[in-house]
Structure 1
Amino acid sequence: MVGRALGIDLGERRIGVAVSDSEGRVATPLTVIKRSGSRNRDHQKIAELVDEYEAGAVVVGLPLSLDGGIGPAALGAQHEAQQLEAALGVPVLTHDERLTTVIAEQALAESGLSGKARRRRVDMVAASVILQGWLDSTNSEAQP
């Protein structure tokens, strides 16, 4: 395990960010970065979070199609993940994010938040779902 990790939900307009605890067991929604129009500037904001939280890895959601195939969105996420890895200096991994936004929206709806409040938070909650899925799979692989 790499210790603390950041989870990233790449969107066209917003980037959801989540962080794990230092033991790499629990993911928590952290923030939403609004896309600036400059990928380098957006990646710099993520780099600042990596430094601030001393993350040893970044996990980017990979939007596979429902049948598990790699379509244009997944190719774009893989390409941006490669760019992020070059910019961050820590491993950048991808993790299947199928249905994470649906799960995040359901959780926020159940919390009683208004539609506007849910829209502001859904990206970072989706990032935490992505990160938690990766943490769970990584920790279960490490068990004897």
Structure 2
Amino acid sequence: MLYYPMWIRPSRLLRVLSQRGGRVMGLDVGDRFVGVAVSDESNTVARGIKTLEKMIERKEFSRRAPNHPGGARRPLREKDINTFAKEFERLMKDNKVFAVVVGLPNHVDGSLSEQSRRTSRFVTKLLRYSPYMRRVPLYWQDESHSSQLARETLSSRGIRAATRQKKVLDAVSAEHILQRFLTRHAAS
């Protein structure tokens, strides 16, 4: 069964949330991690807060391959969706989130990419297992170049390349996705 969350015009949503103190959450869904950002109470500024693991290492494999000089990573498996949904709902409730914006990586011509399809399938699955998320408006936002902007942002903040881990990058990417949504709909 497909779940369709409620929909409200974004500009109206931001006005209502600003009056009532609700926030908007932005997501950057990747293959292994989901970057999370939330808006401030006035819904004008986004801030990356966390990166949730979507994929985890399989425990039945050893940490390093015996014949490989640098070792090998453990194979990955998808995290239990119930566990992820509970973790996600807790994060939404703790931050008083009343709307979610998901970055969608489209091609330059606007057509859906394979990653867009994977993102859409993951969000649909999350909606199925998260009753709280089904009650809030869900929006899709083009996330073109968000990872590149995140790298530039981290570099401008003085964070060296060695410390720019994928987890940090995904949270900052989510910040850019949410900020683009907030900026686009604040004036309309």
TM over 0.5: yes
Specify the code of the residue in structure 2 equivalent to 1:125: V
Q: Who is 2:30 aligned against?
A: 11
CA distance in 1, matches of 2:96, 2:110: 32
1:34 to 31, 39, 53: 53
CA distance in 2, matches of 1:130, 1:20: 11
1:106 to 143, 149, 152: 152
* Structure 2 residue 49 is matched with structure 1 residue 49: no
- Which structure has the larger Rg? 2
CA distance in 1, matches of 2:124, 2:187: 26
Specify the code of the residue in structure 2 equivalent to 1:10: V
Tell me, yes or no, if the aligned pair for 1:60 and 1:94 is still in contact at 8 Å: yes
Q: Which runs of 5+ in 2 are unaligned?
A: 1-13, 57-78
Specify the code of the residue in structure 2 equivalent to 1:71: S
CA distance in 1, matches of 2:82, 2:161: 31
Q: Give the 4+ runs in structure 1 shifted more than 6 A.
A: none
Specify the code of the residue in structure 2 equivalent to 1:128: E
SS of match in other structure, 1:56: strand
Q: Who is 2:122 aligned against?
A: 80
Structure 1 residues 85 and 24 mapped into 2: Cα distance closer, same or farther (>3 Å)?
farther
Scaled by the length of structure 2, the TM-score of the pair is 0.69
1:127 to 174, 177, 185: 174
* Alignment size in residue pairs: 141
SS of match in other structure, 1:93: strand
CA distance in 2, matches of 1:95, 1:27: 14
Aligned alpha-carbon RMSD (Å): 1.5
- Give, in angstroms, the shift of residue 5 of structure 1: 0.7
SS of match in other structure, 2:108: coil
- Give, in angstroms, the shift of residue 30 of structure 1: 0.4
Scaled by the length of structure 1, the TM-score of the pair is 0.89
CA distance in 2, matches of 1:44, 1:18: 17
CA distance in 1, matches of 2:83, 2:187: 35
- Give, in angstroms, the shift of residue 17 of structure 1: 0.5
Tell me, yes or no, if the aligned pair for 2:30 and 2:119 is still in contact at 8 Å: no
CA distance in 2, matches of 1:49, 1:116: 28
**Deviations 1:78-102 (CA, angstroms, capped at 9, x unpaired):** 2222333341232221100010000
Q: Which runs of 5+ in 1 are unaligned?
A: none
Structure holding more helix per residue: 1
